[in-house]
Amino acid sequence: MRYELDPVRVRKILGNKKQFIMGDMAIAYGGLLAGVGFFGGYPITPASEVAEGMARMLPRAGGTFIQMEDEIASMAAIIGAAWSGTKTMTATSGPGFSLMMENYGYAIMTETPCVIANVQRTGPSTGQPTQGAQGDMLQTRWGSHGDMMAIALCPSTVQECLDMTIESFNLSEKYRHPVVLLADGEVGHLREKVVIPDVDEMELFERIEATVDKDKFIPYSESQTNPGSKVPDFPTFGSGYRSYVTGLTHNDMGFPATDKQPDHERLINRLVSKITDDREKLTDVEEIELEDAEVVFVTYGASARPAESAVRMARAKGIKAGMLRLKLVWPFPEKAIYDLSKKVNKIIVPEMSLGQMVHPIREFAAKDCEVIVAPKVGGVMHLPVELLEYLEEGA
């Protein structure tokens, strides 16, 4: 196989340790550092720079970049490439993400590790192509038909674009699940300083491949090399396991079992619980001024930036304000939200939409804690003073 990417070569291609780059480029850097061997994508603002970066750097590293004919094909190609044994990635924005939905579900059903960077904008339809927004927070969780779980991370800085892309790969390999990096057009096009990790400064999770005897291998059940794990070992194409991968409901052996209720129930429950069992382990939040806070923001992505400024301004005015930033939005950090809601009077959710994450937050907040959205639509970020008003009202 060609795709033994040399991490030392990759690091050399990226160049200086400290650079001033755009969020999209940091996503491409993160993918390369994680060891991506195949990138398939289709141009779309504000995500095109990820593909452009990959087109320039990936072949130099020994990997393959293809500009596919559309996002459906991009998503399909990265799934196919993953089965040939490499780490794979695509990047897109709202309309493209909508087109990927069917194959996103296919990746979930077939337990295919891969990463989708979604540099979000708004809609419906074409919306505001050149403006950032946070339009796909719920589509990521609920967009595919049927029962599913999502894993998604939200970077608020360019450095996080890089770090969280690496983390996305680690999670996708660990859980054999498509992981979505939910950036927004704001961070995607922001230029900031990043520090690029060296090879020995990164922790990479590598896919657990099937090693048991070929006639004892069970492709869609608990791991046979990692006892207790609900994530089956990966039978890379060409390695002799002769596995059948299908989006149909299948039994443990991978055979279609479309009319077998118990098989479907067992499969779906495992696909979801392999992730939700680790919900609290996966929870990743940043707490700002929460010790004595009474009114707080729960934020994510670019909106965390003006929100943090607003908290500082409120504190200067003596308001007991705080903020919880969700770095991982799916699986939803249910306990962190519940615990927070027991301590504070009011949760305000600044979102670059009319309100998406406010819904799960309200669902898991204790009933006597008020939860409201602070919406901002039209492709601009909240101003700190606007958000300050919410804190003043809530205090």
Partner 1 sequence: MADMISQAEMREKYLRKGMLPTIFCNGCGHGSSLDYTFRAIEELGLDLDDIVFASGIGCSSRIPGYINADGLHTTHGRSLAFATGVKAANPDLNVVVFSGDGDATGIGGNHFIHAARRNIDMTVIILNNFIYGMTGGQVAPTSPKGTIATTAPYGNLEGAFDISELAKSLGAAYVARWPVFYPQQPIKSIKDAISTRGFSLVELMSPCPTAYGRRNKLGNIKNLWDWYENNSVLAEEYDKIMNYGTDEEKAATINKIKIGVFQHTEKVGFFEAYEEQIKNLMANDDKKWGGV
Q: Which stretch binds partner 1 (CB under 8 A): 225-233, 248-256, 263-271, 296-304?
A: 248-256
Q: Which of 43, 129, 256, 375 binds partner 1 (CB under 8 A)?
A: 256
One residue of 62, 127, 375, 384 binding partner 1 per CB under 8 A: 62
Q: How far apart are CA 258 and CA 124, in angstroms?
A: 34
Report the candidate in 140, 82, 84 with the shortest Cα–Cα distance to residue 111.
82
Candidate residues 168, 224, 243, 299; the one interacting with partner 1 per rule CB under 8 A: 243
> Residue 375: beta bridge partners?
351
384 binds partner 1 (CB under 8 A): no
**Pairing relation of β-strands 64-67 and 295-299?**
unpaired
Should residue 364 be labelled a site residue for partner 1 when binding is judged by CB under 8 A?
Answer: no
**Nearest residue (CB) to partner 1, 144 versus 299:** 144
Report the site for partner 1 in 102-161 (rule: CB under 8 A).
102-103, 106
Q: How far apart are CA 164 and CA 239, in angstroms?
A: 31
Cβ distance to partner 1 smaller for residue 205 or 241: 241
Report strand pairing: 370-375 vs 191-195.
Answer: unpaired
Binding flag, residue 209, partner 1 (CB under 8 A): no
> Whose Cβ is closer to partner 1: residue 245's or residue 290's?
245
Assess 1 for contact with partner 1 (CB under 8 A). Answer: yes
* 378 Rama sector, left if φ>0, alpha if ψ -120 to 50, beta otherwise: left
State the burial class of residue 287 (Cβ atoms within 10 Å of its Cβ: 0-12, 13-18, 19+): middle
CB of 218 to partner 1, least distance (A): 14
Which two three-digit tokens encode residue 303?
Answer: 């909106």
232, 201 Cβ separation under 8 angstroms: no
8, 354, 380, 383: residue in contact with partner 1 (rule CB under 8 A): 8
Cα–Cα distance measured from residue 42 to residue 76, given in angstroms and rounded to the nearest whole number: 12
Binding site for partner 1 (CB under 8 A): 1-3, 6, 8-9, 12-13, 37-38, 40, 59-60, 62, 64, 66, 68-70, 72-74, 76-86, 88, 102-103, 106, 237-238, 240-248, 253, 255-256
